[in-house]
Amino acid sequence: MLRIGLTGGIGSGKSTVSGLLAARGARVVDADRIAREVVEPGTPGLDAVVVAFGPDVLTADGALDRPALAAVVFADPQARARLDAIVHPLVRARAAELVAAAPPDAVVVQDVPLLVETGQAASYDLVLVVEADLETRVQRLLARGLGEADARARIAAQATDEQRRAVADVVLDNSGSVEDLAAQVDRFWAEHVTPAVG
Ligand code: ADP
């Protein structure tokens, strides 16, 4: 098995790269998606969040009220730490299960937005970082429906390009077209994946 950690700032193109890698045969384990699954109704994760933050973080039909929870943790770093202490171990455990279920010859790509921030680089055979310049990311996030102030605040709260580059084995530049990105993914596959897995 070859384990690839894929990261990059919000709006840099991680999902686009994981889609391109999946098309080449990789198995993608998506941390954001798992983070939603572990707090779905009926999960121990959601129960733990309600114990910590009270029933006001639930919608009328018993699902997690994300905006309500976001408002609580945005204003309070200790609340954020409590939430992370609930969710992060659940995400890691579920991701580990999915990786363990992959066949021994699989190429497993883990899309981990906060790989650098959470110090996980050593968990992977290869760390793949996707970058795009700041204004391009902002424009792409606006096109995705985020407000400009929100987009800039989220970018500023994350690691810098320099911090991500410091742990990268390979950096992809997604400031150009998707075709240009796909060509870089093909080169990455030929130079780093094929030699490792045959
Ligand atoms: P991330 O997963 O890192 O947040 P995405 O892959 O979702 O980033 O890309 C952010 C947005 O920009 C998406 O709407 C995506 O379709 C778009 N996008 C990604 N790469 C390009 C590109 N090279 N050219 C134009 N749009 C792009």
Question: How confident is the model at residue 115, as a pLDDT?
Answer: 95
Residue ID of nearest Cα to ligand 1 atom 14: 144
* Structure-token pair, residue 103: 């066949």
**pLDDT tens string 100-142:** 999 999 999 999 999 999 899 999 999 999 999 999 999 999 9
Q: Please tell me the distance between residue 34's alpha carbon and the centre of ligand 1 in angstroms.
A: 20
Helix, strand, coil fractions of the chain, as percent rounded to 5: 60, 15, 30
Work out which ligand 1 atom sits closest to the CA atom of 111: 2
Work out which ligand 1 atom sits closest to the CA atom of 177: 23
Ligand 1 shell residues, CB under 6 Å: 8, 10-16, 140, 144, 174, 177-178, 181
Q: Please tell me the distance between residue 113's alpha carbon and the centre of ligand 1 in angstroms.
A: 14
Residue ID of nearest Cα to ligand 1 atom 18: 13
Residue ID of nearest Cα to ligand 1 atom 8: 13
- Which is the CATH superfamily of the domain at 32-104? P-loop containing nucleotide triphosphate hydrolases (3.40.50.300)
Question: How confident is the model at residue 75, as a pLDDT?
Answer: 84
- Above pLDDT 90, what percent of the chain? 97
Is residue 171 over pLDDT 90? Answer: yes
**pLDDT tens string 25-51:** 999 999 999 999 999 999 999 999 999
User: Tokens 């910590």 sit at which residue?
Assistant: 52
C-alpha 142 chain-centroid distance: 19
pTM equals 0.91
Same fold? 1-26+106-198, 32-104: yes
Please state which CATH number belongs to domain 1-26+106-198.
Answer: 3.40.50.300
Extents of the domains making up the chain: 1-26+106-198, 32-104
Q: Per-residue pLDDT averaged across 190-198, rounded?
A: 93
Sign of CA dihedral 43, 99, 80, 158: negative
Average pLDDT, whole number, for the chain? Answer: 96
